[in-house]
A = this chain, B = another copy of it.
Amino acid sequence: MKKEYLLTPGPTPVPDAVRLAEAQPIIHHRTAEHAEIFRRVSENLKLIFKTKNVVLTFASSGTGAMEGAIINTLSQGDKALVIRGGKFGERWAEICEVYGVRVIPVDVEWGDTAKPQVIEDCLNKEPDIKAVFTTLCETSTGTLSPIKEYGEIIKKRDNTLLVVDAISGLGACDIEVDNWNVDICVSGSQKGLMLPPGLAFASVNEKTWKFAETSNLPKYYFDWKKAKKSLETKGQTPYTPAISLVIALDQSLKMLKEEGIDNVLKRHNRLADATRAGIKALGLELLSKYPANAVTAVKVPDGIDGLELKKILDNKYGVKVAGGQAHLKGKIFRIAHLGYMGTFDIITAISAVEMTLKDMGHPVEIGKGVKSAEEILRG
Residues of B within 8 A of A4 (CB): 25
- Work out how many copies of this chain go into the complex: 2
State whether A244 and B59 are in contact (beta carbons under 8 Å apart), knowing that A14-B25, A95-B220 are contacts in the complex: no
Whether B60 and A219, one on each chain, are in contact in the complex, defined by CB atoms closer than 8 angstroms, is no
- Residue A220 contacts which of B20, B63, B197, B239 (CB distance < 8 angstroms)? B63
Interface of A is mostly: loop
Whether A29 and B320, one on each chain, are in contact in the complex, defined by CB atoms closer than 8 angstroms, is no
Whether B28 and A61, one on each chain, are in contact in the complex, defined by CB atoms closer than 8 angstroms, is no
Interface membership of chain A positions 243-265, coded 1 if the CB is closer than 8 angstroms to chain B and 0 otherwise: 11100000000000000000000
Whether A22 and B61, one on each chain, are in contact in the complex, defined by CB atoms closer than 8 angstroms, is no
CA distance A46 to B10 in the complex (A): 29
User: Please, could you name 25 A-B residue pairs with CB atoms under 8 Å apart, sorted by A?
Assistant: A6-B27, A11-B26, A11-B29, A11-B243, A14-B25, A19-B23, A19-B25, A22-B22, A23-B23, A59-B59, A59-B197, A59-B198, A61-B239, A63-B220, A63-B221, A64-B221, A64-B239, A99-B220, A188-B240, A196-B242, A196-B244, A197-B243, A198-B198, A218-B218, A242-B245
- How many chain A residues sit at the interface, stated as a range, is 35 or more
Whether B218 and A98, one on each chain, are in contact in the complex, defined by CB atoms closer than 8 angstroms, is yes
**8 Å CB interface, A166-196 against B:** 188, 190, 196
Residues of B within 8 A of A100 (CB): 218
- Residue A198 contacts which of B10, B219, B244 (CB distance < 8 angstroms)? B244
